[in-house]
Structure 1
């Protein structure tokens, strides 16, 4: 009996050491956030095993192409806001592509995506995230809406499946993260186009979340289209989060500390302080919250402490993002311009 009790206590203690992470909608992206991710080559697509206390190692993935930047903004003033009246947060990426979402209580809903050449508008949105999400959380949801892609116009119906299917330790080329939660989603949509037929689109999405980071730290996505029982197209995406103040253990960075901007709020010039690991040229950019670059400046930085001055007096009132780029590393700081 004593031996069994000791074994039970050890099991309880072990479960405390590997506590299951829980993510809620309050931990996710908000208006004003800017996310930078690095795409990777997708010659292989193996998301690893589900389950408790997993170790997922993707450190050998090879970066492919430039980093991607997504600006999370208010739908007010975006070009397609009228098509998504319930949206309260928008992801703007690729220059002119907009994804429309709604944070509604325990749900993060996806209402669709639009650019100048195509649009998906969901009248029955997909559950993109269900809160609180933890290992074992499972949701099935219906979706419905319309598709417009040039000459093709049709209806969309289907289902989305959301599941917290694992937790453990994750390693990416960007670093190592402990206590991550993996969310697996499967969206199966049937697109019906009059006089053309039907296409079935299935999307597997594996996303790893780390509490304290507003966006997945790693994603693997496989999008397959079927018609008449045959695969007509398949696309894979793999990307990892390029954290600016990461929980990951990373190599020494070109920018050694978070940047500081003052005064903040400002109505005129701003001093930006930062430290470099070595002498090098840096770029300083300022974005508004629609993602447009309003100021660009080159700066010859010295090893150690540096200070640059930005002329912000002519900028309208609002929130801006100051970004410093050095040796493929980016650091950002929010800045408020407020004229009396």
Structure 2
């Protein structure tokens, strides 16, 4: 009889230890959040299902990517967004976020290979749904227009999301229990409006692992196939910082973003039209490499640096000329 009791107790303990997690705050970012991830070599995502152990302890890093989340400025090209993700590769993603889901509204890319591309979603695309439980599913159709100053691409597609596994994730920086894996597949068809009407078929399959202690994915694997040409991107979480008491930030702080395009700097933000602003670009040693005063017009400010600046990290400071409001950000210059 005792043996049966102990066996039953052990069974109950095992079931409790393997309980399926429910995650409520997956990618529920707020303005001021900063994420740092290590980019790694390509790997396969492993097996779906219950009580999995995904062991990726042999991953090695190449470089890092940082993501900073900002409030959407008043002069944003996507006024329907309420959150902006700025990545260190000069990409800005504009989201509309609710408690239940996050949708992509638009993307701008000022990297040297993008020709300042902009993606506008006339029908937004699901980026994440909350809460997550094992076997939960979601789907969403979308439509977008891509412009880069040379031509226009029209596209549409569908996102299919499924929480396809739970278990333990092993990474070089630790072991994570009660983890959910999300598989998201995006299929889209894009056409370029030029003679010949070129068409591209894209399939993006992403796997991301989450736990209750983090909002950001612990590990992410993206496989992108464009008309038969495929590549894989892998990264795992190094650090995430969340704002403390952000609701108490003074209204006199200015929300803005900026990015370099060669020796040009583009600045946009919640600037009050008709008011003068002092802009200063400094290196990390505090030396000013450019300073000017401009009158806000509601449009993006384009300026050419007075002095050539090498690749690196720079501090962009913007203040109202009367000193009543101001702010600063760090921006990476690639070349």
**Local SS of the residue matching 1:67:** strand
Between 112-121 and 214-223, report the one with greater CA deviation: 112-121
1:46 partnered with 2:40:
no
Q: 1:99 corresponds to which residue?
A: 93
> Structure 1 unaligned runs (5+)?
246-263, 267-287, 299-313, 323-340
RMSD value, Cα: 3.4
Would the alpha carbon gap of residues 265 and 184 (structure 1) be closer, same or farther in structure 2, given more than 3 Å must change?
Answer: closer
Tell me if structure 1 keeps the 8 A contact 2:147–2:153: yes
1:71 partnered with 2:72:
no
**Deviation at 1:225?**
0.7
**Deviation at 1:156?**
1.1
Q: Which has the higher contact order (CA 8 A, sep 6+)?
A: 2
Q: 2:275 corresponds to which residue?
A: none
1:240 partnered with 2:236:
yes
Q: 1:51 and 1:73 mapped to 2: Cα distance?
A: 36
Post-superposition Cα deviations, 1:142-193, rounded to whole Å, max 9, x if no partner, equal: 1112122443312111110011111111112222211111111000011022
1:132 partnered with 2:131:
yes
Tell me if structure 2 keeps the 8 A contact 1:90–1:100: yes
Tell me if structure 2 keeps the 8 A contact 1:25–1:107: no
Q: 1:36 and 1:190 mapped to 2: Cα distance?
A: 32
Q: 1:120 corresponds to which residue?
A: 119
**Deviation at 1:295?**
7.7
Tell me if structure 1 keeps the 8 A contact 2:28–2:99: no
Q: 1:54 and 1:72 mapped to 2: Cα distance?
A: 32
Would the alpha carbon gap of residues 317 and 50 (structure 1) be closer, same or farther in structure 2, given more than 3 Å must change?
Answer: farther
Q: 1:189 corresponds to which residue?
A: 188
**Deviation at 1:57?**
0.9
TM-score (norm 2): 0.67
Q: 2:240 and 2:126 mapped to 1: Cα distance?
A: 28
Q: 2:26 and 2:44 mapped to 1: Cα distance?
A: 30
> Structure 2 unaligned runs (5+)?
111-115, 242-247, 260-280, 287-318, 331-335
Tell me if structure 1 keeps the 8 A contact 2:25–2:212: no
Structure 1 ranges of 4+ moved more than 6 A: 2-9, 291-295, 314-322
Q: 1:316 and 1:181 mapped to 2: Cα distance?
A: 47
Tell me if structure 2 keeps the 8 A contact 1:32–1:289: no
Would the alpha carbon gap of residues 217 and 297 (structure 1) be closer, same or farther in structure 2, given more than 3 Å must change?
Answer: farther
Within 5 Å, which residues of 2 pair with 1:222-261? 222-226=223-227, 231=228, 233-243=229-239
Would the alpha carbon gap of residues 208 and 97 (structure 1) be closer, same or farther in structure 2, given more than 3 Å must change?
Answer: same
Q: 2:143 corresponds to which residue?
A: 144
1:89 partnered with 2:83:
yes
Tell me if structure 1 keeps the 8 A contact 2:223–2:231: yes
**Deviation at 1:24?**
2.3
Tell me if structure 1 keeps the 8 A contact 2:82–2:95: yes
1:204 partnered with 2:198:
no
Q: 1:294 and 1:9 mapped to 2: Cα distance?
A: 65
Q: 1:33 corresponds to which residue?
A: 33
Would the alpha carbon gap of residues 321 and 3 (structure 1) be closer, same or farther in structure 2, given more than 3 Å must change?
Answer: farther
Tell me if structure 2 keeps the 8 A contact 1:27–1:211: no
Post-superposition Cα deviations, 1:235-265, rounded to whole Å, max 9, x if no partner, equal: 21100111268xxxxxxxxxxxxxxxxxx99
Tell me if structure 2 keeps the 8 A contact 1:88–1:103: yes
Size of the aligned set, in residue pairs, is: 259
**Deviation at 1:126?**
1.4
Tell me if structure 2 keeps the 8 A contact 1:102–1:111: yes
Q: 1:119 and 1:321 mapped to 2: Cα distance?
A: 22
